[in-house]
Amino acid sequence: MVHQGKVQRWLIVFMLLAVNLPPLFLGSFPTGFALYFQLFISVLIVLALFIKAHVKVRRDNIVYRVEWWSVPLYYKTVYADEVRRIDFKRSNWTAKVAIVRVKKGIDLRFALFPDELYSELVQFAERNKVKIRKSKNYETVEKLDSNRLR
């Protein structure tokens, strides 16, 4: 199953407002290079609204894909023999984070994904004999989620 991460759009909108509102309140609009720079930054922020992250956990690999309007920006496949361990942590009160530690290269960090992804990562680790490390805070969040489902 393909899991799609949530993008914190409110943060991107806040950044857009932070770039464009001060000149309106101050009454001094940028000119020349400053105007072009402000427009460039504004366009980049608007384009960031359409970025999506997808993760697919298969039997022996994990596929991570970042897309912008279905145009791939980043694509990585990590096979089970490349994984050192999977760390599970808590990022805030109820959000889970999984970090796939690889032997060579950049680790994969999964935050703001559906809870099914984390259970699939545990199954992947057990099936392929990959080490799992869960923090005490993460175990607390798991207990809260299991109690919530009852």
Residue 79 is predicted with a pLDDT of 96
Strand intervals (E) in 50-137: 51-57, 61-68, 71-79, 83-90, 96-102, 108-111, 131-134
DSSP state of 5: P
The pLDDT of residue 16: 85
Query: Which tokens in the block code for residue 115?
Result: 């809870």
pLDDT value, residue 13: 86
DSSP state letters, 18-53: HHHHHHHHHT----THHHHHHHHHHHHHHHHTTEEE
Q: What is the pLDDT along the chain (150 residues), one digit of tens a residue?
A: 899 988 788 888 888 888 888 777 777 777 788 788 888 988 888 888 899 999 999 999 999 999 998 899 999 999 999 999 999 998 887 788 999 999 999 999 999 998 899 999 999 999 999 999 999 988 888 887 766 655
Q: Rounded to two decimals, what is the model's pTM?
A: 0.80
The predicted structure's pLDDT at residue 54: 95
Q: How far is CA 132 from CA 48, 68, 81, 119, in A?
A: 33, 32, 14, 12
For residue 23, which of 9, 48, 10, 42 has the smallest C-alpha distance? Answer: 42
Q: Supply the DSSP symbol for 106.
A: P
pLDDT of residue 62: 96
**Res 117: pLDDT:** 94
DSSP 8-state class, residue 66: E
